[in-house]
Structures are given as C-alpha cells and as structure tokens.
Amino acid sequence: MNKNDLTLEELLIAAKKSKDFTRIERSINGTKIYLSYFNTLVDHEIIQKSLLPYLNSPFLKNIDDISDKLPIEDITFTEDVNEIYLKLYKGHVILQNEHSPNECILLNIHNATLGLRQNNDAENEFSVIGPKVGFVEDLDTNLNLLRRKVNSQKLIIEEMIIGNMSKTRVAIVYLDGITNEQHINTVRERLKNLNFDIIWDTSVLEQIIRDHKHTPFPLLLSTERIDRIVYTLVNGQVTIFSDGSPNAISGPATLLDFFISPEDYYLNWVLGSFFRVIRILGILFSVFSSSIYVAVLTFHYEVIPKDLLGPLIESRANVPFPPVLEVLFLETTIELLREAGARLPTKVGQTLGIVGGIVIGQAAVAAALTSNVLLIIVSLSALASFTTPIIVMGNTIRILRFFFIVFSAFLGGFGIIIGIMFLLGHLFRLKSLGSPYIVPLYPFRRNSLADSFIRSPLSTLNKRAPYLRPKQLMKFYVKEMRIHKGDLNDEE
C-alpha cells in the first residue's frame, strides 16, 4: 500500500514495461474504450467468448450498461488507484473510457485454476479410514471444501492481503459465538502487523506469527486434512488459510494435538485409544532409546539384565568406537537416508530405501562399525518417529534425539535427567497464541484428559476443551439411548 502517490497513468506505464501487459482499443457507439490487462493472468476463453463479442454487440448502447449486460460476475467501478493497482495484478481487466480515463471498470477475468494441480488427495497425512480429500493450493477451493463440511452461519471467513510483493490473500476462519475473541484478535493483530515480501506457504506465516522464535517445536497445527481443520474449528480454535498453500494452520495448539490422528475418531474408542497410546509410547521410545543405549553401555553396565548381557557384549565386542560415536554414526546415516529419500523422485526413493536400509545396515555391522543391537534400536526409533501424524512434529522428535544423545554421552543417565529437565523447562515456557502449550498436563486439567492420551467414547466428548475458553462449552447434547431387554421382547 505504499504506492499511494502513484497515478493511473504512471501505473499503466510501469505495467507496460512487461511484455505480457496488453492494451486493446475498442469502441462502443463511437466512444473509444481501452482494455488493459496482463494476458498471463486472465482467462482468454472468457475474454474471447464473453467480453469482446459483447463489446461489439448492438445491445451495448452506453458504457454504463456494461455492468448489466456483460455476462461477468465480478464488476467494480472505481477511481481508487490503489485498488486498480492491486486488482490489475490479480487478473482483472481495466476498462477505460476515452472521456473519463480515471473512472475505471474492473472486470474479474482471473484464471484462478491455471497451473494448479487438480488432484487433492491427502497424501502426506494419509488415513486408511475416513475421507481422503485434502486442501490444494487454491484458497477458494479450500474455503469451498470447508463450507461443504460446516453448514452453519457461524462459520466466518475474514480475508486480508499480506506480503508487499506477493499480495497473498490470507483467510482467517473461525466459528462466531464459539471461538474466543481473544484468539481471533491475537491472530488478526499478528497478521496485520506482519511485514514480509512473499508469503510462500502457511508454514512461513506460522514461523512469523508464532509466539517463540527459538524453539524446535511447531506452535501452530499445520495440516492438509479437511477433517482435522474442521475438528479444530469446532473445538474453538482459529484457522488461517493462505492462497497458494495446501496447508492450513490452526491455533492455539497444544503439544498433544500433534500426536492425535483423525483416524482415532473414525475407529471405535477402544482401538482409537490403543493406537494413540502406541503412538505416544513410540515417540517416547524414539526420543530416548538411543540415548539410553549410550548411557547404559557407557556408564551403567549394572542395570543390564543378566540374560541380555551376553548378546550385548558380543555384538559390541568388535566395534572399535565408543558407544556414542557408534550411535551418532548410525543416526546420521538414518537422517541422510531420510533426507535423500525426501529429495529424490518417488521411484528412485524406493530403491534408495532398500539400498540404504538393508545393504548399508548389514554392511555396517559386517564392517564392525556398529553393533546389531544398535542397528535394531536406531531403525526402530526412526520408524517410531514416523508415527507422528503431523510431519513437522516428527522432525522435532528427531532433533530432540540428538540433544539427548549428547547429554547421555557426557553424564549417562544423570545427563538424560538433566536433558529432560531442560526440555520440560522449555516446554513449560512455550505458548501458542498466548495459551499454554502443554495444557492438559500443566496447568493440569483433569476434565480435558478424556481426549488426550486416550480417546474416550464420542458421547463423552460433547464438551469443548475448557482451556481454549470457548464461548459455548457444549458441542451437542447426548440423548439417553438405552435399549431395554423388555422392549425387544414386547412383540412376542
């Protein structure tokens, strides 16, 4: 918005420097009109079928008839240069009249889906049960998908334009009368105060508006799944969409939110709880297993069960390095494999997985660079780190592992405890949109535990999480549904 001093003339001259800027001259009843647009942004089909023929037709007597007669939905009259500037670069056609060149008519002929992918499978956050549709790079499609699921006048979508270069449309979505205004205001203020050139993705937004800069933990939930976003909205969180990004971000988020998969709610509560517990145990294993290996093998040989002692010593006997170097070597190898796998095309990636996983692993043991036991521990913990439903959190888990390995290498079990204290201290400090990050655990909220480590039956999950301070606590009211044995026998 800092181009306030620009006139329309200057704007058009500046635009003319680009090759894709087009200016056409036509006449309506003898009056000359000018069409100016970027041909890379507009939909040529509409221009040829719906715009140019009508301009030449006899229906159009007057320039003022345009809004009535043209079969184009979004038509605005304006003299505001700023608005013209903004909309020209969003694919609008400027229609000028030779008598009053400053009064412009803006026609929205933006080709919104040009070059965007059509496939919107939720590939990164796949679930076997439940919908598989995810968000795409187009904001309108995303909001359309959201509106389809939430059919309520409470769903409010606010839009603003952010990025002095990209002019990206960013949408704040919340449920009116449910979401606490404090959260909405926080998001609104932070987005307003934001100053950035190009909003590449919502993940960039997340980094800019998050509460703490120096933390490996993601503070806002980022997801491509529709059901997940709807769930956060219904619970009273605020969601941010940005045009050009297939991920939406939601907040205030808590640590446990990142370990919850939508699939937990599609399975019955016994299975859902079981898988959730497995996932959390897996994450603990992933964070601590290699550091405990280092601590035990370097400092605390006393705690090894007697039957495990033989296999452990045997597998380590030929390894020339201390346990810590052994672990760091293998962990780095796994990280390299992961990183290479992520960068390579899918087909090559599969081959690499086999080569890396099996061949390198076996060869490393055969070459006495690592022990067999460690190979199992490290690959299991890598596997466990992939169980996090949100990928960003999986990355955090892997970083934490190195942190603990270093601590355990210096001080053994005592070092791990010190590391845990540092970690807890850090987690206690974290906030997401001003709310505590590890909330059902600290500050302790007993009532919110029903949907934390376990997933209680759906009928008991009829309250929103109180720590989000929703303006309406109940989601729905449970009707007593009981089948009496007598009722079934009545017909006899």
Residue whose token pair is 């036991």: 373
Contact stretch for another protein (CB under 8 A) within 1-9, 65-73, 156-164, 312-320: 312-320
- How far, in whole angstroms, is CA 480 from its chain's centroid? 38
Member of 309, 376, 383, 478 binding another protein (CB under 8 A): 309
Query: Which of 100, 104, 101, 71 is CA-nearest to residue 88?
Result: 104
Could you tell me the two tokens for 58? Answer: 């006899």
**Residue 214 or 446 with smaller CB distance to another protein:** 214
- Distances, alpha carbon 71 to alpha carbons 53, 63, 434, in Å: 11, 15, 48
Q: What is the DSSP string of 22-37?
A: EEEEEEETTEEEEEEE
Q: How far is the CB of 215 from another protein (least distance, A)?
A: 12
Member of 45, 65, 314, 339 binding another protein (CB under 8 A): 314
Member of 163, 246, 282, 323 binding another protein (CB under 8 A): 323
3-state secondary structure at position 39: coil
Q: What whole-number distance in Å separates Cα of residue 484 and Cα of residue 255? A: 42
**Residue 252 or 412 with smaller CB distance to another protein:** 412
Burial class (CB in 10 A: 0-12, 13-18, 19+), 284: exposed
Burial class (CB in 10 A: 0-12, 13-18, 19+), 139: buried
CB 298 within 8 A of CB 318: no
Q: What whole-number distance in Å separates Cα of residue 148 and Cα of residue 108? A: 25
Q: How far is the CB of 306 from another protein (least distance, A)?
A: 6
Interface map 263-302 toward another protein (x if CB under 8 A): ---------------------------------xxxx-xx
**Residue 146 or 296 with smaller CB distance to another protein:** 296
Strand partners, 42: 110
**Residue 30 or 305 with smaller CB distance to another protein:** 305
Q: What whole-number distance in Å separates Cα of residue 298 and Cα of residue 67? A: 80
**Residue 156 or 304 with smaller CB distance to another protein:** 304
**Residue 104 or 296 with smaller CB distance to another protein:** 296
Q: What is the DSSP string of 198-243?
A: ----HHHHHHHHSS-SS-SS--SEEE-BHHHHHHHHHHT-EEEEET
Could you tell me the two tokens for 107? Answer: 């026609």
Member of 197, 307, 491, 492 binding another protein (CB under 8 A): 307
Member of 304, 325, 352, 430 binding another protein (CB under 8 A): 304
Give every CB contact of residue 158 below 8 A, 6+ residues apart in sequence. 171, 172, 173, 188
Which parts of 237-268 fold into alpha helices (H)?
A: 263-266
Q: How far is the CB of 299 from another protein (least distance, A)?
A: 6
Residue whose token pair is 């009496």: 484
Q: What whole-number distance in Å separates Cα of residue 492 and Cα of residue 488? A: 9
Interface map 192-231 toward another protein (x if CB under 8 A): ----------------------x-----------------
**Residue 296 or 468 with smaller CB distance to another protein:** 296
**Residue 306 or 485 with smaller CB distance to another protein:** 306
What residues from 369 to 428 belong to the interface with another protein (CB under 8 A)?
Answer: 407, 410-412, 414-415, 418
Member of 17, 306, 347, 446 binding another protein (CB under 8 A): 306
**Residue 188 or 426 with smaller CB distance to another protein:** 426
**Residue 41 or 312 with smaller CB distance to another protein:** 312
**Residue 366 or 483 with smaller CB distance to another protein:** 366
Member of 173, 221, 319, 393 binding another protein (CB under 8 A): 319
Member of 1, 128, 165, 317 binding another protein (CB under 8 A): 317
Binding residues for another protein, how many (CB under 8 A)?
A: 28
Provide the 8-state DSSP code for 463.
B
3-state secondary structure at position 420: helix
Q: How far is the CB of 297 from another protein (least distance, A)?
A: 5
Interface map 94-133 toward another protein (x if CB under 8 A): ----------------------------------------
Q: How far is the CB of 294 from another protein (least distance, A)?
A: 10
**Residue 75 or 418 with smaller CB distance to another protein:** 418
Contact stretch for another protein (CB under 8 A) within 216-224, 234-242, 318-326, 327-335: 318-326
Strand ranges inside 139-193, DSSP E: 155-162, 168-175
Residues at the contact surface with another protein, assessed by CB under 8 A: 214, 296-299, 301-302, 304, 306-307, 309-310, 312-314, 316-319, 322-323, 407, 410-412, 414-415, 418
